[in-house]
């Protein structure tokens, strides 16, 4: 059995979280922003799993299940809102949506 050092997993999780943050800051499309939020949630869940494995406790897997439940509910509500935004504004570009109409 090959064991991966905890440091490598934490670095990978940090890189995934950084990709998510950069995607939120750089992209203007709401779909990509939701995908970047999911990447950030997955990297946090990954840290919980590896820390639970490191300490030999099942708490990491329990937190992983809770985070995945939260992510599923976030995506289902978020996609429903995106459908309504697309119908109303005819675009998913944040710059177009954020303009106030008088």
Tens of pLDDT, residue by residue over 9-37, are 999 999 999 999 999 999 888 889 889 99
User: Is 86 part of a structural domain of the chain?
Assistant: yes
Taking the CB of residue 36, how many other CB atoms lie within 10 A of it?
20
User: Is 101 part of a structural domain of the chain?
Assistant: no
The pair of three-digit structure tokens given for residue 102, joined into one six-digit string: 């008088």
Ranges under pLDDT 70 in the chain = 1, 100-102
User: Is 96 part of a structural domain of the chain?
Assistant: no
User: Is 55 part of a structural domain of the chain?
Assistant: yes
- Number of folded domains that form the chain: 1
Which CATH number characterizes residue 78's domain? 1.10.287.3510
User: Is 10 part of a structural domain of the chain?
Assistant: yes
State the pLDDT at residue 93. Answer: 81
pTM score? 0.81
The pair of three-digit structure tokens given for residue 55, joined into one six-digit string: 């300490």
User: Is 97 part of a structural domain of the chain?
Assistant: no
Which residue range is the domain that position 31 belongs to?
Answer: 6-90
State the pLDDT at residue 100. Answer: 55
User: Is 63 part of a structural domain of the chain?
Assistant: yes
Residue with tokens 């710059």: 95
State the pLDDT at residue 22. Answer: 96
State the pLDDT at residue 15. Answer: 97
């Amino acid at each position: 059995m090959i064991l991966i050092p905890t440091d490598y997993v934490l670095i990978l999780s940090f890189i995934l979280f950084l990709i998510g943050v950069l995607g939120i800051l750089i992209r203007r499309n709401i779909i990509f922003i939701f995908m970047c939020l999911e990447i950030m949630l997955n990297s946090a869940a990954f840290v919980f799993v590896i820390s639970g494995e490191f300490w030999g406790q099942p708490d990491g897997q329990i937190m992983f299940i809770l985070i995945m439940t939260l992510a599923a509910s976030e995506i289902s509500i978020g996609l429903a809102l995106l459908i309504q935004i697309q119908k109303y504004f005819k675009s998913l570009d944040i710059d177009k949506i954020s303009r106030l109409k008088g």
